Chain A
Amino acid sequence: MAPGGTTRDDAAPVLSVTRTRAQGHRLPLTPAQTAGPYLRLGMSRPGMAEAVPPHAPGAVRIGGVLYDGVGAPIPDGVVEIWQADASGAFHHPDDPRGPVPAPEGFTGFARSLTEDGGHWSVVTVKPAALPAPDGSTEAPHLDVSVFARGMLGRVVTRIYFPEDAGTDGPGGHRCDPVLAHVPAGRRHTLLATAVEGGYRFDVRLQGEGETVFFDV
Chain B
Amino acid sequence: MTPVSPGRPGRSGRLQLPSYQAVAGLHPPLDHPGYESTALRHPREQLVLLPQNLTEITGPLLGDTRVTAGDADLTWANEGWAQGQRIVVHGRVLDSDGRPVPETLVEVWQANAAGKYRHEVDTFPGPLDPHFTGIGRALTDSLGRYSFTTIKPGAYPWVNHFNAWRPAHIHFSVFGRAFTQRLITQMYFPGDPLFFQDPIFNSVPDEAARKRLIARFDYEQTVPDWALAFRWDIVLRGHHATSFEAAHDHPDHDEDL
**A interface residue numbers (CB < 8 A to B):** 1-2, 4-7, 10, 13, 16-18, 20-21, 25-43, 68-70, 72, 74, 76, 80, 82-84, 86-90, 92-97, 100-101, 103, 107-109, 128-133, 135, 137-138, 141, 143, 145, 147-156, 158, 170-171, 177-178, 181-182, 186, 205-207, 210-216
Contacts and interface: CB of A to CB of B under 8 A. Distances in A.
From DSSP, what is the main secondary structure of chain A's interface residues? loop
A90 B58 contact: yes
A26 B238 contact: yes
Contacts of A27: 94-98, 233, 235, 238
Those 6 A-B pairs whose CB atoms lie nearest each other, nearest first: A150-B37, A42-B109, A20-B98, A109-B60, A214-B50, A69-B40
Given A69-B39, A100-B4, A205-B41, A154 B182 contact: yes
Given A5-B219, A74-B41, A92-B58, 5 more contacts: A5-B216, A31-B213, A100-B2, A107-B60, A133-B51
A82 B60 CA distance: 7
Interface string B106-137: 01110000000111011000000000011111
Contact of A41 (B26, B37, B41, B134): B134
B68 to A, nearest CB: 13
Contacts of B216: 1-2, 5, 7
Given A41-B119, A181-B49, A103 B214 contact: no
Nearest to A210: B45
Interface in B163-218: 169, 171, 173, 177-180, 182-186, 190, 200-201, 203-204, 206, 208-214, 216-218
10 contacts: A1-B211, A2-B216, A21-B97, A21-B98, A68-B40, A92-B58, A147-B184, A186-B45, A206-B44, A214-B47
A138 B52 CA distance: 12
B55 interface: yes
From DSSP, what is the main secondary structure of chain B's interface residues? loop
Nearest to A32: B27
Given A31-B27, A31-B209, A133-B16, A109 B62 contact: yes
Interface string B7-43: 1101100111110011100111110100101111111
Nearest to B3: A87
Contacts of B59: 82, 92, 109
A120 to B, nearest CB: 15
A92 B59 CA distance: 7
Contacts of A90: 54-55, 58
Given A17-B98, A42-B171, A68-B41, A86 B1 contact: yes
